[in-house]
């Protein structure tokens, strides 16, 4: 979904969607400064919960929070997740089987 209020955290997203069914995961996308990017993801345990959440939450207007500076009214856009490679208009597919690992200790590690 996109259009999340900038002050929402993972718990806020979970609370907003738990009324539709069991939420396995609720994540707000955050930047390197831990600020919301205005979108997130909710994973439910059933298709019925997904469809009910979409029906009730899509285009829902969330009023500005009076206690938060520069908070504006937002309108949610909620839909089923479509992987980037399956979206219409995407360019060439990228390799999705690589693993990036960092922060190995500098001592006692070899190429093997």
Return d(Cα 47, Cα 41) in angstroms, integer: 15
Q: Which residue has the higher pLDDT, 13 or 64?
A: 13
Q: How far, in Å, CA of 35 to CA of 16, rounded?
A: 19
User: What are the phi and psi torsion angles at 107 (to 5°)?
Assistant: -100, 155
pTM of the model: 0.66
In a domain, 14, yes or no: yes
pLDDT tens digit string along 64-94? 775 555 667 888 888 888 777 776 665 555 5
* pLDDT tens digit sequence for 16-40: 999 999 999 999 998 888 888 999 9
Which domain covers residue 74, as residue numbers? 10-83
**Would residue 37 count as lying in a domain?**
yes
Question: Are 24 and 44 spatial neighbours (Cβ–Cβ below 8 Å)?
Answer: yes
Cα distance between residue 10 and residue 30, in whole Å: 10
**Which are the contacts of 29, defined by CB distance < 8 A and separation ≥ 6?**
36, 37, 38, 39, 40, 41
Mean pLDDT of the chain: 82
Rounded to an integer, the average pLDDT of 32-57 is 91
Q: How many domains does the chain have?
A: 1
């Amino acid at each position: 979904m996109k259009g999340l209020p900038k002050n929402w955290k993972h718990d806020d997203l979970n609370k907003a969607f738990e009324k539709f069914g069991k939420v396995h995961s609720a994540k707000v996308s955050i930047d390197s400064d831990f600020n919301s990017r205005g979108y997130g993801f909710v994973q439910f345990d059933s298709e019925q919960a997904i469809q009910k959440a979409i029906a009730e939450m899509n285009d829902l207007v969330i009023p500005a929070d009076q206690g938060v500076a520069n908070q504006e009214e937002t309108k949610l856009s909620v839909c089923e997740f479509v992987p980037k490679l399956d979206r219409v208009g995407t360019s060439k597919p990228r390799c999705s089987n690589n693993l990036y690992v960092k922060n190995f200790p500098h001592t006692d590690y070899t190429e093997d």
